[in-house]
Amino acid sequence: MCGIIGIISTKEVTSRIVNSLKKLEYRGYDSAGIATLNGGNINEVKCEGRVDTLEKNIQKFSLRGEIGIGHVRWATHGRPSKANAHPHSSEQVSVVHNGIIENSTILKKHLEKKGYLFKSQTDTEVIAHLVTDYLKKNSLKDTIIKVLKKLHGSFALGILFKDREDLIVGARRGSPLAVGYGPNENYLGSDSYALKSMTNKISYLEDGEFCIIKKQEIEFYESEGKKINKKILNLSQGAISYDKGDYKYFMEKEIDEQPFTIQDCINEYVDKYNREINIHNFPWKISSLKSLVLIGCGTAFHSCLVAKYWFEKNTNLDVTVDIASEFRYRKVNFKKDCLYLFVSQSGETADTYAALDLCKKNKMKTCAVVNVVESSIARVADLVLPIYCGQEVGVASTKAFLGQMLVLYILTTKIAYHQKYITKKDYQSKIKNLLSLSNSTKKTLSSENNLINIGKVFANAKGSMFLGRGYSYPIALEGALKLKELAYVHAEGYPAGEMKHGPLALIEEGMPVVVLAPRDEHYKKTISNMQEVIARGAKVLLITNKNNDEIISENIWEQIAVDKFDDELTPFLITIPLQKLAFYSALEKGYDIDKPRNLAKSVTVE
């Protein structure tokens, strides 16, 4: 969470810091701030709320400078307010911080005894005063080394020094931090997106490292202060632009982009002429794999749940799915013949990265499915499989979810054929279906339905349920999550067959319930479960496939029919109405669809 930008230049930097903060706002948007050095003084402007408000305040104060740092916040310590907004400054330094300082309370008490006064409720202000204290008896470099050793927890830091208008210090432990290179200027950023408008050349700090950024050079150090060299990378350019175009919301645009992002991903992995999947760079023998553990958080976890069904049906692997935040805190019995697969849109998800790091320390086989190929998770994993969906700005994931499922299905199919678990005929049939997926997605998106009015009912309901079996069960979980994220309506996803084991008690007259019943092997059983909730007064929205025969039930409130397609790939199609349902429900309530309350896009804290 939180976004950091720093620029040191021979030119004025304030407007560019603000523009970069606008691009970083998906990482946090409850408060924002900027600090510059000018005339030997630290000048600071902060506000509660969005970057647009910050920009207006900056214009009032005519903030200027050729060196500065900026921040957008997602609160961890202290409620959103101007006082708790970053940067946090002492008389000598100004600090922006992403992460959590776990021993901040102890450090604060120590500093208060020395006479330091605190203005905020944050853990970050401790860093500003701690740096100030160490500077009294140490050089700048030694101060940074000693301060970083004192801090427990995770952090990405950008630090300005009142008496040093020639440098910015950056440091990282846990939370990501990138450094950008420019002509007569250099940059610091919490991710590459904020730097792309200024440079395509970057380096990444690894855990424990810090840097001193000057106008003409950048020096990198490991934790003990030994100078190190860093590789300069060229940023990849996404196919989809950051601009909203004619859309009012990024999420709306990103939903509509899905046929194109699916096609882009398939083009990267599938040779349509030879009916072949182009994943040839496995760093281990597929025949050596006996089991698979899929690991993710939130929406990424749901993509893993769908993939479990695919892998179990098409391979002989023993498959487990784990939530990253639980995986790393259990006693894990690591297996040499197991592949540990990590899914993350940003590639910076803190819990997922920590689980990956644990596997690497135990010398396990690892694979990453990510959207950002320059990310921390991508740089650490043995094998990286990008989802190629371009930047996703809306906090509630849409096209990235379909991209994650798509890559996991492609990997499943490749391993299945490699294991000779499916025939060549089946393999090429699956590839043929993949090549048709984009078109079926487009048809589903363009289908006329009543989702605007349906969304109004869900938006004003006390609660709702989403039911499915087989492949549809994880999609039910994802649909419920989207409604919670965007419309702030209580929603639960359940296996349809589990309703009678407790949740049926929640059904009452008029309660909206989504039933996912594609015409697969579970269809008739799911319809029976649907009848059970209808009999208790629920208003059922049935999502199924287009077909000529009648639904075996009466009293269905609303029905949406997606394109008739291969059972294994139908999860892609039934996801789309659920995305739109959440979108229209939030629209009905007038909420900020791209930036739902309390959430941030890149979850870089535990």
User: Could you tell me which of 140, 130, 120 has the C-alpha nearest to residue 80?
Assistant: 120
> Six-digit token pair at 373?
């190929």
Q: How far apart are CA 176 and CA 4, in angstroms?
A: 10
φ/ψ region of 99 (left if φ > 0, alpha if ψ in -120 to 50, else beta) reads left
At residue 495, the 3 state secondary structure works out as strand
Active-site annotation holder among 2, 297, 367, 389? 2
Angle at 108 between CA 104 and CA 111, to 5 degrees: 140
Angle of helix 570-589 versus helix 472-487 axis, rounded to 10: 20
Active-site annotation holder among 253, 308, 539, 601? 601
> DSSP string spanning 241-297?
-SS-TT-S-HHHHHHHTHHHHHHHHHHHHEETTTTEE-----SS-GGG--EEEEEE-
At residue 571, the 3 state secondary structure works out as helix
User: Could you tell me which of 32, 29, 36, 31 has the C-alpha nearest to residue 12?
Assistant: 36
601 is catalytic: yes
Q: What is the DSSP letter of 105?
A: H
Question: Distance from CA of residue 88 to its chain's centroid?
Answer: 27
At residue 519, the 3 state secondary structure works out as coil
Q: How far apart are CA 74 and CA 28, in angstroms?
A: 4
Helix (H) or strand (E) holding 218: strand 218-221
Say if residues 584 and 451 touch (Cβ distance below 8 Å).
Answer: yes
Q: How far apart are CA 33 and CA 13, in angstroms?
A: 14
Q: What is the DSSP letter of 323?
A: E
359 is catalytic: no
Residues linked to residue 472 through DSSP beta bridges, in sequence order: none
Q: How far apart are CA 207 and CA 209, in angstroms?
A: 6
Give the residue numbers annotated as catalytic, written as ranges: 2, 601
